[in-house]
Structure 1
Amino acid sequence: MASILHKSIYLLFSIFICTISSIYADCTIPVVLRNTWFSFENGKQTITDINASEMTARGVCVNIKADYHVNYTMVFRYTNCYYCVKLIVRTVNVLEKIETPCVDIGPDEEPTVERVCKGLNPDQSLTTLFSENSVPVNCRSSLEGVWQFAYQNRFRFTGECNHPDAQIKSCQTAGTQFLITNQKFNITYRKCPGMSGTFDGVVEFSCLGHWFVDKNHFFAVANTKESRKDERYRCFLKNRDDDLYIGASITPQCNTLKTVEKSPERYRINPVKAEVVEPGCRLPQNFSGNWINTANIDADVVINETHIIETYYPDEGRFRRTIYVCREQRDTRVMMARLTVDGCQKDYVCFDFVPQHHNVIRYRKGLAMIQSNFHTVCSWVQFKNQVRWRYDIFLKKDPTPIRCPVAGKFNFTQRGDVKFETRILGGVTLSPRPNLYCKLNISDFSVCDVDQKTIQIKENYCLSVDYLGRPVDIYSDPDYKMNCIGYWKENLKSYLITYDELDPFSKYRCWVYQRADLNRVLMSQALGPYCDLKQDVTSWNYTEGAAVAVEMEEYERERDQCPMHFDDGSDPWSTKENYIKVFSFSYSFWRGNSASTIHVFIPLYILVVVYLLK
């Protein structure tokens, strides 16, 4: 009987051991987590060793659950209780951790992830673990550029230290055989007078990798000249919506970084250019001035004889600036050195310009290259070889009106997503308008000023006249007034650019126009300052980049004095202003008589007057 009891106990013990072994065998900690890690927990420096089955101070792994191979939730058995630890792999050198206290479960309950980790609070503060055997990574994805900065440290001094020589420099050396040079960046601090917490010095950081949490961009670094572990590791924070600031931690913890502007240490950065490029050619003189680039979010462009400075605004209060320097010019192509947005390195881009006309510069831009050979950079194959393409355009920032290519008085019908509507420019009329009885109301498109430079659109215009044939609607104002500032013909389409100071969406509007008959004109207005390749005169909705299409028919009346004019834009460089023409006939009384003859008649005229007065 005793032997049977011993055999039963031995069998149960063997089954228990096999069960435990199977649980252990199922939990193999991934290789990416196996390392020696440093962290700062509860105000103390902590070293954590993780191998294939164990974790320091947490015990032996008994269960594991992996999400997307970056989030690992593990159950560790430590003496008589279980820990739930969730490790988030941020980079090969950085982990973040949340965990529960030691949890007791019943003797007959299996230590599954669901059971042990049900008390895990996902909103608790993350603990950052840095690899003690770190592998430096390329810094370009973390930080790339050259900036002058002003900094403040909330725990060392008040105010902000702004020194012109304080600089952050993180640049790549392309093709270098020493990869370590691309895995570091420097911060040069300068002491500000009267601020005791500031100092002069250069700090070199080695990049440990980066990660995103929503729009927050974190990256971890290690101070290469620091031996103290609590001073060696730091976290930095950038934000895609606020790239004028960089936040930094003052301890080896990333959980202190909530926003870039409220970080323990904050850098207010301003991009600077790292290189100076001497110009080697000159741009045409009529290019000089202030322009906007419709191909880049209506960027501000300043052009002088040798430089093109382009500044675009991705958001309110933010800007990105690129500088182009003229290096070499042949025919219509100009090779320019491009100093990139954050100023690390220069490359070369070829511009193919069309001679300026009106308030428009048309151009196309080739691929950026690291070489400076004109024949390579400006080879025609460097321009995008698309089946359908058109030139991008610069438009004058303060344009001068020109004669419109379409002039006259037209009755139009419209179709589109954004139609012309009846409105009052300025909000309130100066005086009440008289009531008029109209037999017929139309939509009116008129270019009737003396110079034919302004388009006036009235969506609901009274066509009635009085008994003398004069228009009775003489008090109403147009709903839309826009100036013509440029037109041309390209890809067998005629394009027109108008300028409306009161347009809330875009002051500049692009039109496609075409003469359909002797007195009929078709036009399509774009949604913005440029026309889509698919847009033609019948386009009316957003799928082709259009806002509205109008079909116009001339209806000039006797007293309108609004002659029709049309120019398809084939030759936009010729002068076609509406000048007053003085006709000279073959015979003139004054031409056949000299001034002396007039003097002969003047005394005779005086004698006649005196005689009549008697």
Structure 2
Amino acid sequence: MAPGNMEKAFVIKFLVLIVSFGAAWGACTIDPSYIADWYSMEVGRDVFTPVTPNKWGDLMCLEKYEHPIEDNFLKGRNTTMLMKDAGDNCLYCVDVLWRTPNILQYKRSSCYTSNSGFKNMCKGIAKLPTQDTLVTLFKQTYETVNCISTWEGVYQFTYEVDWGGGGICDNPDNLLKACQDPGSPYVDNQVFLITYAKCPTVQTSKSETIRYQCMGSWFAVIGDTGYTFAAIENTVEKDTREKYKCMMTLKNQKQADNSIRWAMSRFAECGSLKSIYDSPNRLVLRRAPPQTQYITPQCNLPRNASGAWFTQGIQFKSKVTINDTHIHYFTQRNEFEYEDTFLSCQQTLGTRYLMTKYIVGKCEVDFVCYDILPRHHGIVRYRVGKPSRLTVDELADPQFMTKKFQEACSWQSFTFNRDDTEWKYEVLIMDPPSPVYCPIGGRYNFKQEANGWLEKYATRIRGVTEKPRNQISCRLVVSEMKSCSVDRSKIEIDAEYCESVDYRGRPVGEYDEPDNILTCVGYWLEDMKSYLITYDEEDAVSKFRCWVYERTSWTELQLSRSQTARCRREQMSKDYLTEGTGLHMILEEAERLFDDCPQRFDPGLNPYLKPQVIYVLSGSVRLSALVVSALNTVLVLLVTHLVIRH
């Protein structure tokens, strides 16, 4: 490189360094998100701190360092500043952590009488202080914040305070209501109500309803545990220290009853919150159903749909309980949380049922329409329409329920996207299942194509053998899948089966045990595709599996197995790489002389047709030749006697 070019490159690098240095160590103008009037409680005293572009209360800003923004969605940033008190000529390091538009937390160092350098004096440049060492500032003129980041739903709770005698107050009327209307510009999205009810045996309990304003929430670490903090404001309280509260909770709490623990401060500070078990005020929240008059049933569901069921949704699987009037979904959303959904029958016409739907812990009460097909085998197929809510204008109409049925149960309401016509029915599977005759019968050899070796059927020991194995030399090992006359409701799969026979044509592999035994639960034909549901209690991924099966020739079948109990609409009998699938099997008919395993196939064209079965109640009595001869003699004598008399 020429000397002139080297000098230009050096100048450019130097300018870049200056610009970068100025971005972090710029002129000491306080961040605009800090400029406001703030309140804090420090060492039991009320402190009001006005912040201007160059002053923090009585402190003048000399130098500042802006920490890198770790989360792109944050509107403010953390800052370390060197400040001077004009009154006593002291230098202070002030670390400010931006939490929400209404909350700042800061730490001020002790007085420095001499300036030994910004980086040497202010350790917060290298590492910001921890949560338990900070003072919390509450903005006096707050910005409105949506409560959904702090609360959402309806909860019944118990509360306990650590002053005045204590005791846990558990009253059914202890309610927390935070009902936000998505997109609403009104104040309902910014406030929530807490109703405290009196407990006769708890001296510190009270009867009071408080309206709180949400001031935002943030995440911070205490020790090695990460907590979610929130700040709230009592909208009618006059005492400033009682007006603001700090709250804390722990995400993913491992509570068996799905409860949520919260800690609340008594005054306007967060330092007293050590953990969800060690705080001035401790609340245990349990999700509660919303109060509505439209839960009382007005119609009946199909009688043969009652019972316990299982369904696999797009994201979660649910246990479903149905009686004559209600449907209950129990959904495990993650390792620690579950969701209860209840539906009540309101009106019906044909296969369509208008249902009132609510989720325990949520505020919304929706009207949805279920299109439920008649049950076949252990299967109920259904689909759900768009949810709809009652408006104030609709309630004024005495025929509002009929009109709501016309709206929610129109056939158009079942189409969420008119351009997407690829839909199929959802499936309820009886749990525990009731076996049915499998639509595929016979003995087959199979080949497997899988999306990973874990999807394939492989040889495994299913338990202790009943008797010692003989050392048999097997000359022919094949894969076997069969459903024979012994039990036509089961499919036995053996990845390595000894097919060698003795001189009589009998199999020598008498000790062979199938690797997997599938129980057929139900099958049907939908959109020219045959579906089968099987059950395997030893399946570690999903006990219920959905299959798409097809007969491609007189002796060949093809099957595609899904990874769960739900087959996607686009799944075909040859798929194993499509999303939601994992295994493709090609079956070749291979019945031997003494197998007693005839081939059968039912595409599920009419799953409501009952199988033709001949029941043999008892065997005939076998008569000896002597008895038959005696009976014949008696019959001849009787006939001769009758002829002579006439």
| TM-score (normalizing by structure 1) | 0.83
Matches of 1:48 and 1:317, distance apart in 2: 42
Matches of 1:514 and 1:217, distance apart in 2: 53
| Residue 180 (structure 1) shift | 4.0
Q: Secondary structure at the match of 2:603?
A: coil
Q: Tell me which residue corresponds to 1:292.
A: 310
Q: Tell me which residue corresponds to 1:6.
A: none
Q: Tell me which residue corresponds to 2:15.
A: none
Q: Tell me which residue corresponds to 1:570.
A: 605
Q: Secondary structure at the match of 1:374?
A: helix
Kept after mapping to 2: 8 A contact 1:54/1:61: no
- The answer on 1:221 being equivalent to 2:238 is no
Matches of 1:549 and 1:448, distance apart in 2: 22
Deviates more, 1:525-534 or 1:76-85: 76-85
Give 1:523's match in structure 2, choosing from 559, 562, 571. 559
Matches of 1:393 and 1:569, distance apart in 2: 15
Q: Tell me which residue corresponds to 2:367.
A: 348
Kept after mapping to 2: 8 A contact 1:94/1:130: yes
Q: Tell me which residue corresponds to 2:177.
A: 169
List alignment gaps of at least 5 residues for structure 1.
Answer: 1-22, 583-597, 606-614
Give 1:318's match in structure 2, choosing from 322, 337, 351. 337
Kept after mapping to 2: 8 A contact 1:100/1:117: no
Matches of 1:441 and 1:149, distance apart in 2: 64
Give 1:378's match in structure 2, choosing from 393, 409, 415. 409
Deviations 1:305-353 (A, max 9, x none): 2221112112345321111122222333322221134242312222222
Aligned-residue sequence identity (percent) comes to 34
Matches of 2:274 and 2:478, distance apart in 1: 60
Deviates more, 1:561-570 or 1:62-71: 62-71
- The answer on 1:92 being equivalent to 2:129 is no
Q: Secondary structure at the match of 2:512?
A: coil
Q: Tell me which residue corresponds to 1:555.
A: 590
Kept after mapping to 1: 8 A contact 2:442/2:599: yes
Give 1:70's match in structure 2, choosing from 63, 70, 76. 76
Matches of 1:489 and 1:262, distance apart in 2: 60
Matches of 1:298 and 1:135, distance apart in 2: 41
Q: Tell me which residue corresponds to 1:83.
A: 92
The residue type paired with residue 126 of structure 1 is L
The residue type paired with residue 406 of structure 2 is H
Give 2:242's match in structure 1, choosing from 231, 247, 250. 231
List alignment gaps of at least 5 residues for structure 2.
Answer: 1-23, 70-74, 391-400, 618-630, 639-646
Kept after mapping to 1: 8 A contact 2:93/2:122: no
The residue type paired with residue 550 of structure 1 is M
Q: Tell me which residue corresponds to 2:300.
A: 282
| Residue 552 (structure 1) shift | 1.0
- The answer on 1:145 being equivalent to 2:153 is yes
The residue type paired with residue 27 of structure 1 is C
Kept after mapping to 2: 8 A contact 1:245/1:261: no
Give 1:186's match in structure 2, choosing from 177, 193, 201. 193
Deviations 1:107-162 (A, max 9, x none): 9x6x5899785465433523211112234544344212222222333455566332
Q: Tell me which residue corresponds to 2:284.
A: 268
Shift of the 225–458 alpha-carbon distance from structure 1 to 2, 3 Å rule, reads: same
Kept after mapping to 2: 8 A contact 1:82/1:116: no
Shift of the 53–64 alpha-carbon distance from structure 1 to 2, 3 Å rule, reads: farther
Give 2:349's match in structure 1, choosing from 330, 333, 337. 330
The residue type paired with residue 529 of structure 1 is A
Matches of 2:121 and 2:204, distance apart in 1: 50
Matches of 2:612 and 2:461, distance apart in 1: 30
Q: Tell me which residue corresponds to 2:499.
A: 463
| Residue 405 (structure 1) shift | 0.7
Give 2:205's match in structure 1, choosing from 198, 204, 209. 198
Q: Secondary structure at the match of 1:375?
A: helix
The residue type paired with residue 161 of structure 1 is C
Shift of the 72–317 alpha-carbon distance from structure 1 to 2, 3 Å rule, reads: closer
Deviates more, 1:283-292 or 1:379-388: 379-388
Shift of the 180–317 alpha-carbon distance from structure 1 to 2, 3 Å rule, reads: closer
Q: Tell me which residue corresponds to 1:593.
A: none
Aligned residues: 565
Deviates more, 1:398-407 or 1:488-497: 488-497
Q: Tell me which residue corresponds to 2:34.
A: 33
Kept after mapping to 1: 8 A contact 2:482/2:491: yes
Matches of 2:513 and 2:126, distance apart in 1: 71
Shift of the 133–161 alpha-carbon distance from structure 1 to 2, 3 Å rule, reads: same
Q: Secondary structure at the match of 2:172?
A: strand
- The answer on 1:244 being equivalent to 2:259 is yes
Q: Secondary structure at the match of 1:358?
A: coil
Q: Secondary structure at the match of 2:321?
A: strand
The residue type paired with residue 460 of structure 2 is R
Give 2:459's match in structure 1, choosing from 401, 422, 426. 422
The residue type paired with residue 368 of structure 2 is V
Shift of the 472–29 alpha-carbon distance from structure 1 to 2, 3 Å rule, reads: same
| TM-score (normalizing by structure 2) | 0.79
Shift of the 98–375 alpha-carbon distance from structure 1 to 2, 3 Å rule, reads: farther
Q: Tell me which residue corresponds to 2:56.
A: 55
Shift of the 577–210 alpha-carbon distance from structure 1 to 2, 3 Å rule, reads: farther
Q: Secondary structure at the match of 2:486?
A: coil
CA RMSD of aligned residues (A): 3.3
